[in-house]
Chain A
Amino acid sequence: MNRILVIAEHDGKKLNPATAKAVSCALAIGGEIDVAVFAANASAIAAAAAKLKGVKRVLKIERAENVHQLAAVLAPQIAKLAKDYTHVLAPSTTFGKDVLPRAAALLGVQQVSDIMKVVDAHTFERPMYAGNAIVTVKTPASPCVVATVRTASWQACSEDGHAEITAAGTDAAIPQHTRFVELKADVSARPDLQSATRVVSGGRGVGSKENFAIIYKFADKLGAAVGASRAAVDAGFVPNDLQVGQTGKIIAPDLYVAVGISGAIQHLTGIKDARTIVAINKDPDAPIFQVADIGLVGDLFKILPELEKELDKI
C-alpha cells in the first residue's frame, strides 16, 4: 500500500490552502496519507491539517530551528521521515519548490515537479515549456516518489476529516550556515496575485500609470488582486511584480478579467488555467477574445464604471 507524506505549508500561524491541494493529489494517488507540520509551535496548524479529508495522521515536528521553515533546515528532517513513505509531496509554491528538491537530493531521488494529473502511483503528467507541452513521466519504483503538486491543477480537498495528531521528531543534524533575516510581507490590503481567486489585469490599453487607478478601483470592488500584462509593465504603468504571463506569474483564479489586454501568447500562457476569463477590449479582433469565456467589446473607461454600478446592485 502507498504511504504518502504531505509537507504542510504555513506561515507559523495558519495552514496555507495550498496544503489542501497537495492532499487532493495524495488522494488521487491513493493510500495512507500523513501530513507533516514543521514549526516552532505547530498546534494550531496541525489542528487545521487534521481536518483535511483522508488524512490519517498529522505529525508535529516542533523545534525552535523550524520557526522560519528554511529549506536547509527542513530538508534533512524530511529526508529522515521519508524513509517510512512511498511518496513525499509538497505544494509547488515558492516554499515547496525551495525545500523539496533539497530533500530529494538527500534521498538520491529525481523529483517530479508540478504534478498536474496522477495517471498511476508512479506515472504523472507535468507541464514543460511554460505549459506549452504536457509530459507524462514514470518514476523508478524505489526508494520513493518525491514530487511537488501544481496548485493551479488541483482543487482543495474538503475539511471533514478527523486525523490523529502526534508529535514526531528526527535526529537529523541541522546546519547553522543559513539564517533568516526578515520577511517583508506584501502590505497591500488586496489579495495576493499568485493565490487570489479573482484577478483584474490591465494592459497597454489602460494608457498610463495614472489611468491604472481605474483598474485598482474596479479590483477593490470585486475583492480581486491586480495584475498586468508585460506591455503595461514595460510601459512603466505598474511595477513588474504585477506581471502575469510566461515570464511573470502563472495564475489560475476562478475569475480573470483582462482589461485593455490584446492577448499576446506569453500573457495567455499565464492565465490559461483560470476558471473563467473575461475580456474587455475596444478591438473586436484582439486575440484575447479567442480564449475569453465572456468578451465585451468597448471602451474600458466607460465599461468599468458601469460594471461597478451593476455590482453595487448585487
Chain B
Amino acid sequence: MKYVWQNSGHDMKLLIGIKRVIDFSVRVQVKKDGSGVNTDGVKMGINPFDEIALEEALRIRERGTQAEVVAVSIGPVDVQQQLRTALAMGADRAILVETNEVLQPLMIARVFYELIKRESANLVILGKQAIDDDSNQTGQMLAALWDRPQATFASKVEFKDKTLTVTREVDAGLETLSVDLPAVLTTDLRLNTPRFVKMPDIMKARSKPLQVLKLEELGVSAAPKLEATNYAPPPPRVGGRKVEDVPALIRALKQRGVL
C-alpha cells in the first residue's frame, strides 16, 4: 500500500472521529418497553473522548507541523451540528458519512479505513470509547484493518518525524510505546483539556467545508452485527442502613464478613 502524504500539501493528514452522543451530564433513562434509552428532547453533544482527540490534533498542528485536521462523523444529518462544533474548535474541514442506521464498531472501522484510503491520511485519533455504547473497539479494529500500529488510552503524545512516542494509561501504570506512522491513537481523559469554543469561531466555522457522503456511496461491505434484544436499567442498590457509632460499624463489618 502506498501513502502519498505530500499530495495534500501537508506533512500530516489527521482524521478525527466525532461521535454524537447523549451529553455526559444527562442521566440516561431506559425506556419502559426495553427497546432502548430515551433520546427524545435529550441534550446531545460530542463524545468527551472525541473532543480530546480533536484537541490533540489541533495541538499537533499548532506545534508547527504542517497538518490538515479533518473531523469525521458517521450518522444521521443531525450530526452536522457536532461537526460544526468541531470546525469551530479548529478542524480545517469535516466529512459526514450520512446514514440513519446505527453502526457498530467493526462497521465504523471499515468506513474509517475507506476514508483513510481516499484521504491518504497518516494519523487517525479517536476517543478510546464512546460514552453511549462503551464498546472501546473502533480504534483497535481500524488499526487491524489498516495493518498499522495502535496506541490506545493515550495520556501523552510526543511527535517526531514519522514516529510517535505515546504514553498509555494501563492498569499496571504508564506504558510507553514508540510507533511508526501511519498509526491510530485513542485518547484517555488525561491527554489534554479541550478548549472552549468562542463566538467568533462559531461564525468562522460556518464557512468551512463540510462534505456529506452517503454511506452507500463509499462501497463498504456490511459488517456482522450484534442484535440488541432488550435494554434494562441496572438493578438498584439497596442501602440506607445507618449505625450509631464506631464499635457498631466494626460489628456490622464483621457480620458481613468483610473484616
Q: Which residues of A contact B (CB under 8 A)?
A: 11, 70-72, 75, 93-95, 97-106, 108-114, 123, 127-140, 175, 177-186, 192, 194-195, 240-241, 246-248, 254-255, 265, 272, 275-278, 284, 289-297, 303, 306-307, 310-311, 314
Contact = CB atoms under 8 A, between A and B. Distances in A.
Interface stretch (B78-86, B133-141, B196-204, B211-219): B133-141
B239 A277 contact: yes
Chain A to chain B: the 4 pairs with minimum beta-carbon distance, closest first? A105-B141, A101-B140, A105-B144, A101-B137
Contacts, number: 240
Given A110-B107, A132-B27, A133-B234, 20 more contacts: A97-B136, A98-B153, A98-B170, A102-B141, A108-B223, A110-B106, A129-B132, A132-B28, A137-B226, A177-B148, A178-B151, A179-B179, A272-B237, A275-B258, A291-B237, A293-B241, A294-B252, A295-B240, A296-B246, A314-B250
Given A71-B140, A102-B141, A247-B24, A181 B232 contact: no
Nearest to B145: A105
25 contacts: A11-B172, A71-B152, A93-B171, A101-B136, A109-B224, A111-B105, A111-B106, A129-B28, A132-B28, A134-B232, A134-B233, A135-B230, A137-B226, A137-B227, A180-B175, A181-B178, A182-B176, A183-B172, A184-B173, A272-B237, A293-B241, A293-B256, A295-B239, A295-B242, A303-B246
A109 B105 CA distance: 10
B106 A137 contact: no
A172 B135 CA distance: 27
B75 interface: no
Interface of B: 22, 24, 27-28, 30, 37, 48, 104-107, 109, 131-138, 140-145, 147-153, 165, 168-180, 183, 189-190, 223-234, 237, 239-243, 245-247, 249-250, 252-253, 256, 258-259
B171 A113 contact: no
A157 B133 CA distance: 28
Q: Which residue among B148, B152, B175 has the maximum number of chain A CB atoms within 10 Å of its CB?
A: B175
Contacts of A72: 143, 149-150
Main secondary structure of the interface of A (DSSP, over half): mixed
Nearest to A125: B232
A294 B252 CA distance: 7
A301 to B, nearest CB: 13
Contacts of A175: 147, 149
Nearest to A310: B250
Nearest to A124: B226
Contact of A104 (B106, B147, B259): B106
Contacts of A278: 249, 253
A110 B234 CA distance: 24
Contacts of B231: 128, 133-136
A47 B138 CA distance: 34
A101 B105 contact: yes
B249 A294 contact: yes
A289 B242 CA distance: 8
B144 A133 contact: no
B169 to A, nearest CB: 7
